[in-house]
Chain A
């Protein structure tokens, strides 16, 4: 009955209020279903779980089709591209991989070295020589490990020169020296000849020459794929020193040699590489 009243009242005193009520009711009646649908959709959109529930099957279906079609249609093409790329840039690839592999090997060797040093520490603890006592005193005063002290004493080695040499041809790629060297191209060539000779004559399987000793000079050699480095040293060389050199060379190779084209203008490269060598090896 109240509704009747209010309908009657529409044409009465408060037409505006009643109109609105009517409209609102009409809207409710006519649009209720749509509203419910919209609310449902909004809910579904706002709730990630529900959204996923709806969309995932569609995406999965497309992915599945892609997976099924992709190999058939593109694999041959991709294979061919990859194969060609690999063949064309084998050397570059190796030079990229080399420092990384080198670092892994170095890490291992370093680990071995550390265990060796630990063994040494152990032995030193039971050592009662004058030097041993002195070291122990030093160690007590300065708080350094005795093993480090012992190795430190041997480590006063000086880098005289660094050669960066193309592996087979012996062509000089870069050079760093404390003093001016006259015939560095010739030295690079001779080093390569000696290296070739030794590697040819004395190694059954392919193995790289690592050290040449000449009087008080020692030449530390580290080979990369397309080039090698020869470092002329004066003084005693410990395993840890070698390790340090090797690490520096690997860092150098990684940072400086990746973007160098080895069959380009040697002179431009040489100047650039020589400058960078100095950055790395000047002490």
Chain B
């Protein structure tokens, strides 16, 4: 089995911890407990019959990625960059953030995720936000309903295996 370090990063309150909890424990809470420092957890996923052990680092949100301690990123094979579909402040500087991450970890898999899609009314509304982004988004998710969370990690696992 291979082990990979994956980092959840993005702005404050976008739902990184919620995605982490949904993925690892399959649970959700409405309470907002901001993350201090880092929390690490592990989950073994099955991708095309192969096992991948994902060591997930849920780090404290920062308004911009260059404020995150660099050492947290070292050795990461994958990055999940999360923004909040309902708060423009969390995706306005997305292009700069992604550029920064690319430079830090040129060989890593980066997944860009718009979270809290359950709060948006219709598919049209989601599409409208996505078309206004300054960077491509890979997936929209809801940690609350669990929609696309498993898919996110499946896609990520597949990409990680391909690069292993």
Residues of A within 8 A of B (CB): 166-172, 183, 185-186, 189-190, 192-194, 196-197, 199-201, 265-267
Contacts and interface: CB of A to CB of B under 8 A. Distances in A.
Given A196-B71, A196-B72, A189 B37 contact: no
B40 A169 contact: no
Nearest to A191: B40
A196 B76 CA distance: 13
B75 A166 contact: yes
A193 B40 contact: yes
B5 A170 contact: yes
Contacts of B74: 167-169, 196
Interface residues of B, number: 22
B3 A171 contact: yes
A170 B55 CA distance: 8
The residue in A167, A169, A190, A266 that gathers the most chain B C-beta atoms within 10 A of its C-beta is A169
Contact of B2 (A167, A190, A201, A266): A266
Contacts of A267: 1
B40 A171 contact: no
A70 to B, nearest CB: 41
Contacts of A197: 37-38, 69, 71-72
Contact of B40 (A166, A168, A170, A200): A170
Given A193-B38, A197-B71, 20 more contacts: A167-B74, A167-B75, A169-B3, A169-B74, A170-B40, A170-B55, A183-B42, A186-B41, A189-B5, A189-B55, A189-B57, A192-B40, A193-B37, A197-B37, A197-B38, A199-B71, A200-B70, A265-B1, A266-B2, A266-B53
12 contacts: A167-B75, A169-B3, A169-B77, A170-B75, A171-B4, A171-B55, A189-B42, A189-B57, A192-B40, A197-B69, A197-B72, A200-B71
Interface string B57-99: 1000000000001111011110000000000000000000000
A97 to B, nearest CB: 21
Interface in B1-51: 1-5, 37-42
Contacts of B1: 265-267
A219 B40 CA distance: 18
Interface of B: 1-5, 37-42, 53, 55, 57, 69-72, 74-77
A98 to B, nearest CB: 18
A171 B4 CA distance: 7
Nearest to A201: B69
Contacts of A265: 1-2
Nearest to A268: B1
A183 B53 CA distance: 13
Contact of B69 (A167, A168, A196, A266): A196
Contacts of A192: 40
Given A193-B37, A266-B2, A169 B69 contact: no
A36 to B, nearest CB: 81
Contacts of B77: 169
Contacts of B5: 168-171, 189
Contacts of A186: 40-42
Nearest to B38: A193
Contacts of A171: 3-5, 55, 75
Nearest to B59: A193
A199 B71 CA distance: 9
Contacts of A201: 69
Contacts of A185: 3, 42, 53, 55
B161 to A, nearest CB: 13
Nearest to B24: A186
The residue in A167, A172, A196 that gathers the most chain B C-beta atoms within 10 A of its C-beta is A196
Contact of B3 (A168, A196, A199, A266): A266
A189 B40 contact: yes
B25 to A, nearest CB: 13
Nearest to B76: A169
